[in-house]
Amino acid sequence: MTKEHTPRTSFVARNPSVLYLLMALGLFTAVVAVLSEATGVGLISTSFVKTLGKTLCLCLIAIAMDVVWGYCGILSLGHFAFFGIGGYAIGMWLMYARTEIIVAESLAGQVIPPTPQEISDAIGNQIFGVVGSSEFPLIWAFADSLFIQLAFVVLVPGLLALIFGWLAFRSRVTGVYLSILTQAMTLALSLYLFQNDSGLRGNNGLSGLQNVPGLADSGQDVVSLAFFLASALALALGYLLFAWITDSKLGNIIQAIRDDESRVRFLGYHVESYKLFVFTITAIVAGIAGALYYPQAGIINPAEIAPIASIYLAVWVAIGGRGRLYGAVIGAALVSLLSSWFTGGGAPSINLGFYTIQWVDWWLVLLGGTFVLVTLFAPKGIGGLFDKLVRKS
């Protein structure tokens, strides 16, 4: 028995889902690209390309959630905060750079060329007029630099996760207490951003993010396809990264931490460092996913960071199947697409005679019911059912 089962197999043989996912993703991207409006075929509308692109970003944060929760056992209700921070970081540049172009155009006709100060004031007026201000807050200091804002997409969620995780894990906060702590962090961030003097336009959030400066000449069909492709690439790379991490010996250790944390300590592993590593790297990936999502959504506001978003994320992963990366992809794609179908008026209402079921109202009930059913009857989620089928055939 042992002799046949040698551990020295290749990475792909040990992780067949990587190959299947990359093939499926490649095929899916090619079909969407060919059928999109950008190529002139137009069978898939630009708005649907955006929906699909956003879905890929949600799949990316879902696999990050699966690693931190499904593999390492940390039920974080804060990963959507990292997602939002990534969105805000790129959104600041998008908004600043585009406003700068508009301001430059409107001031171009003047006899006396505007001074840099005048341009800066005009941009400030445009962006912050809505919250009754025209001053640039300190956090916009680097908003004119795409490079620095891109670095922030990675650095800010990473540093926040590092500091928060260090404080929480070293105090050995675990289980539901840690979940509550992460939720509190998310809520605090969201409430802070809701304030007008937070420097990020309060509840207005950042908008017009779909307009990429410098690409004004290319239509939204091309821009949305480009973001769709970038999201697909990010998902593929993220999947490879997490498959590699979970396949490594570190993957064994974090699953061991999930199952019996104190036993791992007595094996000589510093459990807190492992948790911190996983928490931080998944937060970074969540930030990247958010930076790709919000330019496709066009708008980001503090409501996106509300704790409910992170709870949805946990629901997707639970329905898809914890502890299997493809389960998280399936769960996030299925539930988020169904959600936009049901709440976007796509699903027909059901007339019961005495009452009409409007899915906009009843979708959450359906989702909650499904979650309960999955928890009771398929605790390993859709991915678990999938595994059973594969083993039978």
Partner 1 sequence: MTSLLEMSGISKNFDGFQAISNLSLQIGEPELRAVIGPNGAGKTTFMDIITGKTKPDEGSIRFGEDSRSLIGMSESEIARLGIGRKFQKPTVFEAQTVRENLAMALKNPRGPFSVLFYKKTREGAARLEEIAEEINLTDHLARPAGELSHGQKQWLEIGMLLAQSPRLLLVDEPAAGMTAHEREHTTDILKKAAETRAVIVVEHDMEFVRRLNCKVTVLHEGSVLAEGSLDHVTKNKTVVDVYLGRSDAGD
- How many binding residues for partner 1 (CB under 8 A)? 27
**Residue 182 C-beta: closest distance to partner 1, Å:** 21
Amino acid at position 134, single letter? S
Told to check if 269 binds partner 1 by CB under 8 A, we report yes
Contact residue for partner 1 among 61, 185, 271, 306 (CB under 8 A) = 271
Among 4-12, 82-90, 341-349, 350-358, which window interacts with partner 1 (CB under 8 A)?
4-12
Q: Is 14 in the site for partner 1 (CB under 8 A)?
A: no
Distance from the Cα of residue 273 to its chain's centroid:
24
| Nearest to partner 1 of 278, 328 (CB atom) | 278
Residue with tokens 């493809």: 326
CA gap 100, 188 in Å, rounded: 32
Place of tokens 């100060």: 117
Per CB under 8 A, the list member of 89, 153, 234, 256 interacting with partner 1 is 256
Does position 391 interact with partner 1 (CB under 8 A)? The reply is no
259 binds partner 1 (CB under 8 A): yes
13 binds partner 1 (CB under 8 A): no
* Alpha helical stretches, state H, the chain: 11-14, 16-35, 46-65, 79-107, 116-128, 146-170, 175-194, 220-247, 249-259, 261-266, 271-297, 307-320, 325-343, 359-377, 381-392
249 binds partner 1 (CB under 8 A): yes
Site for partner 1, residues 43 to 72, rule: CB under 8 A: none
Collapsing DSSP states into helix, strand and coil, what is residue 45? coil
* Per CB under 8 A, 172 contacts partner 1: no
Q: Which of 171, 273, 358, 375 binds partner 1 (CB under 8 A)?
A: 273
Shortest distance (Å) from residue 11 CB to partner 1: 12
Phi, psi of 69 (to 5 degrees): -100, -55
Q: Rounded CA gap, 13 and 17, in Å?
A: 9
**Of the two residues 173 and 303, which places its CB atom closer to partner 1 in the complex?**
173
Indicate the residue among 37 and 261 with the shorter CB distance to partner 1.
Answer: 261
- Binding of partner 1 by 245 (CB under 8 A): yes
Does 303 sit near partner 1 (CB under 8 A)?
no
Which one of 42-50, 82-90, 154-162, 248-256 is the stretch in contact with partner 1 (CB under 8 A)?
Answer: 248-256
Position 5 contacts partner 1 (CB under 8 A): yes
Nearer to partner 1, 113 or 268 (CB): 268
Pick 270 or 388: Cβ nearer partner 1 = 270
One residue of 260, 344, 350, 379 binding partner 1 per CB under 8 A:
260
CB contact set of 387 (below 8 Å; sequence gap of 6+): 324, 380
Only segment of 100-108, 260-268, 291-299, 381-389 that touches partner 1 (CB under 8 A) = 260-268
Measured in degrees and rounded to the nearest 5, phi and psi for residue 357 equal -80, 110
The CA distance from 282 to 313, in Å, is 13
Residue listed under structure tokens 């007339």: 351
Range in contact with partner 1 (rule: CB under 8 A) among 102-110, 147-155, 261-269, 336-344: 261-269
The rounded distance, in Å, linking the Cα atoms of 26 and 86 is: 25
Of 104, 385, 134, 162, the residue nearest 287 (C-alpha):
162
Q: Pick the piece of the chain touching partner 1 (CB under 8 A) from 127-135, 154-162, 227-235, 263-271.
A: 263-271
With a CB cutoff of 8 Å and minimum separation 6, the contacts of 189 are: 81, 84, 85, 305
Residue 375 Cα distances to 7, 57, 328, 331, 378, angstroms: 33, 25, 15, 13, 6
Binding site for partner 1 (CB under 8 A): 1-2, 5, 7-8, 245, 248-250, 252-253, 255-256, 259-260, 262-263, 265-271, 273-274, 277
